[in-house]
Chain A
């Protein structure tokens, strides 16, 4: 017990307060301990420390004792044991080792985030990006034609956009190529053609021959040829019953007038419907009577005879393949831009 040690020894006041200047801290503590007639082991036992640590303290080897917080604690307790003033012992320790009040700076080990500077710059980068995009948009705002945008918006997706962009007013979803006479829109040679005219034998916007049951080879070729190519040979050959489609040139109407075998408009016509997928169908004749109404299953075919023009409603227009008097009709132009339901009128005179 410290007081038991101190009971037999009363150190001089001068030494007790600050210690002899000539002695180091360790030597001072060792001297006082010796005055108490106590060994290092006794002190170690009282303080609960390893005797090697007491030896390190008395030999001023403070680095062996660990961080300063522990050294100060050991010295404080040692000073109390020897009845020495704690403050004086700690002050001597500070002077001797140069360890200040402030502990060493903290360190961050194993950081889980990226470098702070990079994160700081990230906000700046986003700001510059937004400003750049905005500036570019403002610079190119004048180049944008509102007419082009409107055409793009209302165009048929099956048509090529450059063509649409050139003639935005002649082609819309609900304007059928063979109805140009009624609409009064002037037709031009650059009328939009189907997306794949060569692969599909459906050529509505062309000048075609009369719907005679026995077609000549030239007629068949005219069906399979692209729109622009098929118009000229048909005219030049002087074939009868040529019918101008909605988009065809006005010249082709002359052929209609000259053609003596052009079929009358109100006449029995044969409509053939083929379906690659299930489709709801309603067909009305010219007088408004319903010729057929119902669901057609996939891979089925139906022939309807009635007075043209026919009013058709198809629930699944892309799946339909239509022939009128054995002449195929291009159904792609009837496919709506949104959805699959299509309503249109087919007339033999428009073939």
Chain B
């Protein structure tokens, strides 16, 4: 009874605690926060005390541009917590930002999406981090399930649906039917690996060192997963390794495609493995309807075409794929608020 009463006054949050970005969905308000998962830490040289200097967008602006006493940290790596304390502080900051404390609101219930390949230890770290950040109850939902719900796939039907969520740290593929996950697989390949591949390619072929933000900009502007007739170009600047001075040069989309071959083939392999492991009836459903792409990686040009060519199946990109996981979690939270039995469904822990 008290739970119900408290539920009426608390604003529940669905958090997509991603490697690259953290999104928060507030029940009844939609997506209210979309910021990079970056924290800037100030190290006091005298006392040796570490304090948080900036979180989110402000911290990302500092990435690669910090003096000695400042360091920018990405506390999430491969979809899981790499630095527990910093993650807790970051979550605390984000929750305070979106959760009103004016009217004696009770602590929020929080639903966090976790990679399906994460271990129990990694899940426990996420749960405790959220509890430490002020959550009353923490639910964990597998990312592909949240992504499928957020994309609008009717997961409760007795019909198989395959979803491929390409995030910042991991790519996860799952076959879903009847509110449950039939098959789930994950590879630690995502947007970060794309950036890393571009940095390595540029250093190897051009002898120029570029930073992560520059690699990310290249990926966004001319990145492509499949050859196209239209060749895009971008002019970038980096430090020439031989001369030691900054130089500018031009990259085109075909070169980036070449750079991304390795991580892309890893994702395609994961999809093929999932198709092989899918029961035949569900595989038939997937063949009839197609694969749904979600996550930031789905925004890469022609990635749907690449997967279509490799698998022979129809591939559709979900609407607003970046926010699918957070929106899916939000829909589940709204359902939990109405019907608590939903906690037992959707593979929620």
B10-18, B147-155, B241-249 - interface stretch? B147-155
Q: Do A111 and B318 have beta carbons less than 8 Å apart?
A: no
A106 to B342, CA, bound (A): 9
A134 within 8 A of B: no
Q: Do B341 and A113 have beta carbons less than 8 Å apart?
A: yes
From residue B75, how far is it (CB to closest CB) to chain A in Å?
31
Cβ-neighbour of B290 out of A73, A104, A108 (below 8 A): A73
Q: Do B339 and A70 have beta carbons less than 8 Å apart?
A: no
Contacts of B345 in A (CB 8 A): 108-111
Q: Do B344 and A113 have beta carbons less than 8 Å apart?
A: yes
A67 within 8 A of B: yes
A116-124, A144-152, A163-171, A190-198 - interface stretch? A116-124
A92 within 8 A of B: no
Contacts of A49 in B (CB 8 A): 314
B39 within 8 A of A: no
B83 within 8 A of A: no
A72 within 8 A of B: yes
From residue B348, how far is it (CB to closest CB) to chain A in Å?
11
A263 to B337, CA, bound (A): 93
B335 within 8 A of A: yes
B198 within 8 A of A: no
A161 within 8 A of B: no
Q: With A67-B154, A70-B289, A103-B152 in contact, do A108 and B314 touch (Cβ < 8 Å)? A: no
A328 to B63, CA, bound (A): 103
A47 to B318, CA, bound (A): 16
Interface size range on B against A? 35 or more
* B window 311-325: CB within 8 A of A: 312-319
Cβ-neighbour of A69 out of B2, B156, B318 (below 8 A): B318
A140 within 8 A of B: no
B142-182 interface mask toward A, CB cutoff 8 Å, 1 = contact, 0 = none?
Answer: 00000001011111100000000000000000000011000
* A window 287-323: CB within 8 A of B: none
Q: With A73-B318, A106-B335, A110-B178 in contact, do A1 and B313 touch (Cβ < 8 Å)? A: no
Q: With A68-B152, A69-B153 in contact, do A74 and B339 touch (Cβ < 8 Å)? A: no
Cβ-neighbour of B292 out of A4, A48, A69 (below 8 A): A69
Q: Do B156 and A67 have beta carbons less than 8 Å apart?
A: no
Q: With A48-B308, A69-B152, A73-B292 in contact, do A108 and B316 touch (Cβ < 8 Å)? A: no
Q: Which of B178, B179, B304, B340 has the most CB of A within 10 A?
A: B340
Contacts of A95 in B (CB 8 A): none
Q: Do A67 and B153 have beta carbons less than 8 Å apart?
A: yes
A109 nearest in chain B by CB position: B156
A112 within 8 A of B: yes
Contacts of B335 in A (CB 8 A): 105-106, 108
* A window 77-134: CB within 8 A of B: 77, 101, 103-113, 116, 119-121, 123-124
Contacts of A73 in B (CB 8 A): 290, 292, 314-318
B281 within 8 A of A: no
The tally of residues in A whose CB lies under 8 Å from a CB in B reads 35
Q: Do A77 and B156 have beta carbons less than 8 Å apart?
A: no
Contacts of B292 in A (CB 8 A): 69-70, 73
Contacts of B316 in A (CB 8 A): 69-70, 72-74, 76-77
Q: Do B340 and A116 have beta carbons less than 8 Å apart?
A: yes
From residue A281, how far is it (CB to closest CB) to chain B in Å?
66
Q: Do B149 and A106 have beta carbons less than 8 Å apart?
A: yes
Cβ-neighbour of B339 out of A47, A48, A108, A124 (below 8 A): A108
Q: With A76-B316, A106-B331 in contact, do A67 and B152 touch (Cβ < 8 Å)? A: yes
A320 to B179, CA, bound (A): 73
B4 within 8 A of A: yes
Cβ-neighbour of B341 out of A50, A66, A116, A123 (below 8 A): A116
Q: With A67-B153, A69-B292, A107-B156 in contact, do A76 and B339 touch (Cβ < 8 Å)? A: no
Contacts of B290 in A (CB 8 A): 48, 70, 73
* B window 279-299: CB within 8 A of A: 288-290, 292
B276 within 8 A of A: no
From residue B264, how far is it (CB to closest CB) to chain A in Å?
18
From residue B141, how far is it (CB to closest CB) to chain A in Å?
12
A174 within 8 A of B: no
Please name 5 further chain A to chain B contacts, defined as beta carbons within 8 Å, in addition to the given A3-B228, A108-B342, sorted by A numbering. A3-B229, A106-B342, A108-B344, A110-B179, A111-B345
24 A-B pairs with CB atoms under 8 Å apart are A3-B228, A48-B314, A49-B314, A66-B288, A67-B152, A67-B289, A69-B151, A69-B153, A73-B314, A73-B317, A76-B317, A77-B304, A77-B316, A104-B152, A104-B154, A106-B335, A108-B156, A108-B339, A110-B178, A110-B179, A111-B345, A120-B1, A120-B3, A124-B1
The 4 lowest CB-CB distance pairs between A and B, nearest first, are: A73-B316, A103-B152, A69-B152, A111-B341
Report B's interface with A, CB cutoff 8 A.
1-4, 149, 151-156, 178-179, 228-230, 288-290, 292, 304, 308, 312-319, 331-332, 335, 339-342, 344-345
Report A's interface with B, CB cutoff 8 A.
1, 3-4, 47-50, 66-70, 72-74, 76-77, 101, 103-113, 116, 119-121, 123-124
